[in-house]
Structure 1
């Protein structure tokens, strides 16, 4: 009995009395992993209870949805099942990390037998419109879990003490059964505590949040998303299993994103080149307005898309030289290289190079 895993046994009792079912399953897993070297038959007997069903089991349903005491508005929005029109288009590194996390969840039982938990807390950083929220929805869809989204406008109270109570209520609700909890605009509740411009209540709010993160169960996933990672308290970063940085999409990613459009491959390549530097949300908005225009005008979608993408780029000063946008627009209107060259007092080869640069023709 000298090497008997006494500490792990104490942890089992503590987890069983105070923690969630998933925490209890993890504690048993750690105990079994140590016990294998002392009493293999007993370890194998206990392992029979370490199943995905036991670890993922909740109380059957969520506790009542929490509401703000003053407004009586709900603090979280729940979606189940999560239905997606399309999967997110992500760069290879980001997609690889998310696939790895999903693989851990698929092998949950293997991990439990060694007292290990799958990655359960992810931090998404990046500009607005680059796919953070869609990726969170996709994770909930792949895990077949309900998606709970914190309603920041309701959670944030003019009385900061109440904001802390609201945050605590959201976490208490989320841990009542397995789910994916999305904390969007995370920097609003996890701001650096060394900011001298903030009052003490905001620092206490971060302390409440840190404690909630430490208590997050192993049978649920928490995803925090922020546009301003530099504002987060340093202690917050250490709580996450993975920090993923979502960048503006490359030309190749945009071309993949546009794969569903009923246009020729060359048009898709042209659009990807013109829209390089834009977010997915901006691209979506452009596509919606172009589709409506094509329906109303009874016109082909492709030329409308290209013209609108070109105008967007011109409006943001994205042409190498200001007159090049007008050259391309004249070409799209059916003017010949010679006519364009004469209009701008340029050579025929110059016009050809400009058209190829932006349209690839």
Structure 2
């Protein structure tokens, strides 16, 4: 122990006094990792005293959520337990990265004893409606932790220094027990500090954020989501364990997303190809509209959904063969093959081929 760095022992004492069990366990783990080279028996003895991951992830319920002093509105929304109707449809690379994070959390005991921590800060980048928020909910569900979502409209204040105080209150609250903290529209609080229009408030806010990220405990997960990664301060990027990019889904993912819809395989694959370029949220809105129309008009969901998709693509001028769309709409509105053929001056086999290709009839 004569040559053992005093700063390691000092760090253990400091984190122990901070009151964060996970930070203390992580600090002790780092001490043990270095102590093994000096005194293996003592290292093993200390390692055996470390709490298990289940102990670190348990805790009492949260205290009441912090509020803005002026509006008296809550700064965070708390959801627990988080239960999704179905798992989100994710691109293979995104799913792999999230699964790797969950694997690390399942092995928290092993990591802490080696002075390591599971991935605890993730940055989700991508266009709106691509599944970033849903993925955060899924992580909270899988980790069986409460989901805290920053109420950005309440946190942001026009009063000098008030936004920074509100943000600090949110992090102090989240640190009271294990959770998943979602910071949506992250660029609003982590914007580059070289913005020429800034009068100093932005720099103070980002500095508060950076300090909070540095102090984030090992037994909670922080998920920041942004549609504008290019606006983030460079110092913010370095704080995250993983940066995960969410892109608009291709035909294969859309077809998977529509798997539970009442569509035959031919129609589902055809609609998936037509919907390429749309976000999951836009597709979900079409599904919901079709369900409501089917209910109110006492018709089939598939009929209403295909009509909405075809009209949407046709209105945007993105239908490769607009005439096909017109034929499909007539068919969905109850016209016979013969009537459609006569209307467009086409043969019956031609109409039959179009209908079969899109509707599977």
TM-score normalised by L of structure 2: 0.92
CA deviation after TM superposition for structure 1 residue 328, in Å: 3.2
Instruction: Name the counterpart of 1:21.
Output: 21
Deviates more, 1:98-107 or 1:50-59: 50-59
Instruction: Name the counterpart of 1:81.
Output: 81
For 1:60 and 1:355, the matched residues in 2 are separated by: 59
For 2:352 and 2:196, the matched residues in 1 are separated by: 58
For 1:262 and 1:351, the matched residues in 2 are separated by: 24
The answer to whether the 8 A contact 1:25-1:54 is kept is no
Q: 1:321 to 1:255 in 2, by over 3 A?
A: closer
2:198 aligned with 1:187, yes or no? no
The answer to whether the 8 A contact 1:273-1:358 is kept is no
CA deviation after TM superposition for structure 1 residue 3, in Å: 3.9
Deviates more, 1:228-237 or 1:137-146: 228-237
Instruction: Name the counterpart of 1:295.
Output: 295
Cα shift readout 1:49-87 (whole Å, capped 9, x = no counterpart): 223248615763434321101001110010111111111
2:66 aligned with 1:66, yes or no? yes
For 2:13 and 2:98, the matched residues in 1 are separated by: 34
For 2:21 and 2:115, the matched residues in 1 are separated by: 13
Alignment of 1:149-160 (within 5 A): 149-160=149-160
Instruction: Name the counterpart of 2:9.
Output: 9
Instruction: Name the counterpart of 2:221.
Output: 221
Unpaired runs of at least 5, structure 1: none
2:320 aligned with 1:320, yes or no? yes
For 2:226 and 2:359, the matched residues in 1 are separated by: 35
For 2:236 and 2:150, the matched residues in 1 are separated by: 17
The answer to whether the 8 A contact 2:291-2:301 is kept is yes
CA deviation after TM superposition for structure 1 residue 313, in Å: 1.1
Alignment of 1:234-245 (within 5 A): 234-245=234-245
Deviates more, 1:92-101 or 1:205-214: 205-214
The answer to whether the 8 A contact 2:33-2:115 is kept is yes
Instruction: Name the counterpart of 1:177.
Output: 177
Deviates more, 1:189-198 or 1:14-23: 14-23
User: Helix, strand or coil: the match of 2:38?
Assistant: coil
Instruction: Name the counterpart of 1:52.
Output: 52
User: Helix, strand or coil: the match of 2:218?
Assistant: coil
The answer to whether the 8 A contact 2:264-2:360 is kept is no
For 1:228 and 1:337, the matched residues in 2 are separated by: 49
Cα shift readout 1:80-110 (whole Å, capped 9, x = no counterpart): 1111111110000000000000000000001
Instruction: Name the counterpart of 2:248.
Output: 248
Instruction: Name the counterpart of 1:33.
Output: 33
TM-score normalised by L of structure 1: 0.92
For 2:348 and 2:214, the matched residues in 1 are separated by: 67
Deviates more, 1:2-11 or 1:255-264: 2-11
Cα shift readout 1:201-252 (whole Å, capped 9, x = no counterpart): 1121111111111111111000001111111111111111111111111111
Deviates more, 1:223-232 or 1:99-108: 223-232
For 1:124 and 1:15, the matched residues in 2 are separated by: 29
Q: How many residues align?
A: 361
Cα shift readout 1:97-132 (whole Å, capped 9, x = no counterpart): 000000000000010111000000001111111111
Instruction: Name the counterpart of 2:115.
Output: 115
User: Helix, strand or coil: the match of 2:310?
Assistant: helix
State the superposition RMSD in angstroms: 2.4
CA deviation after TM superposition for structure 1 residue 278, in Å: 1.2
User: Helix, strand or coil: the match of 2:125?
Assistant: strand
